[in-house]
Amino acid sequence: MVPWRLAAAVLSALLLQPPFSDGSYHDPVLFPLIEASGAATGDLVAAGGWLGKDGGALIAVANTTTGELQLMAGPTPHKAYCVLQAPFVVGATTVASGDLDGDGTDELIFAGEHGITAVKPKPDPNAAVPRAARCKPLALETIAASTTIADVASVVVLPFRAGRPQLLAVLSEGSPQPFGLLTVATDSIEVAKRTDFGIPSRDGWHWRAAAATTATAGQAATAGALAAVARTSADGSVAQVHLLGGTLDPTADATVPLGNSSLMDLLLADVYGDGAPGLMIIEHDTTLHYLWPGGDSGSLAHTIVAPPGGAVAMDAGREWVSVAAGPLLAGPTVLADEVQLIGLRGPDNTHSFSVSIVVHARPEHWMRRRASLANLRGTQVCQ
């Protein structure tokens, strides 16, 4: 075959191939197609649909020193809503987002040494906003709170299932049962159960993070992965992760050497849009470890992926201080189940904090998407 015809045939096969239609796990290769960034102020980031379908997926950036909470819209992150003052944000160590009651709208959950609070951002039509501010006013409705559940290292929202606990939290380190399954009742958050999930303890190891799938309860049951928990060795050089199935029983685990950085967070998200959430360990230097079920029963295969910003990183060399995953983009350029990684990068000598949206793809369809996503390249600064 003439070389140019061979190249055309290969390109055509790549472009026309329906991606990941079998919903199975694959040896992952990440192509960071685009990174768009916008300025923000804070040290915790989350993603969710707090204003319902009309508001779309948004980004929340919280400043745990000043108590400021800012909601940003996409596709390139920009300030869309006025900054809120939220006292419960001060001192928070972790933030989560998810649908606590199955009404199709997400809630924000902040937790730390002072307790745990669940709120719902809502439009505030009565607020007076100067025209020059160019932002929409919001109010925060407190759904539930508890000051007795303190010292929370990590909290995640479980896919909503009526009558089941809605939150999974990593609680006090010294307890033989370091995890809490929490229920959200009227105006209160309560510990329904303390557990160790049957995972043996390890001297000197510390539980650091939890993750839950962003899928619905039905999708999570199909994928076989509902949540995950991670702990690190005493010197922080090794992480051990445990995957939890639909009944929150351990189904697989892996021990992962960390680099020169440290564990920042754990995510369980479908960044490929193939219906099979992947487990990701993310270090502060943005090194991403991707794990998926291996050939042996109960094991997880592991690969180290280049920092999510890759060759198109706009803030190369700047560490992420917080990370989240959510369906910020929508439309023909992304797959129906696909979510994006959202990283909050710390400042350097010349920049403020910035929120980075990283879009990934498998080799099967990265060519077609590079062109369709090209218009997202660039930075949109938030005033």
Any idea where the domains of the chain sit in the sequence?
Answer: 27-379
- pLDDT > 60? residue 3: no
Contacts of 76 (CB under 8 A, 6+ apart): 36, 37, 38, 357, 376, 378, 379, 380
- CA dihedral 163→166→168→171, nearest 10 degrees, is -90
Residue 299 has pLDDT above 60, yes or no: yes
Pick 16 or 109 by higher pLDDT.
109
CA distances from 184 to 109, 120, 160, 167, 189 (A): 11, 13, 12, 8, 5
Q: Is pLDDT at 94 greater than 60 in this prediction?
A: yes
Task: Give the pLDDT of residue 348.
Answer: 63
Rounded to an integer, the average pLDDT of 303-326 is 65
pLDDT at 305: 67
Topology annotation, domain 27-379: Neuraminidase (2.120.10)
- Residue 368: pLDDT band with limits 50, 70, 90: low
pLDDT at residue 78 is higher than 50: yes
Percent of the chain whose predicted confidence (pLDDT) is above 90: 31
Is the pTM value of this prediction over 0.85?
no
Average pLDDT over residues 208-225: 68
CB 100 within 8 A of CB 118: yes
Taking residues 164-172, report their average pLDDT. 89
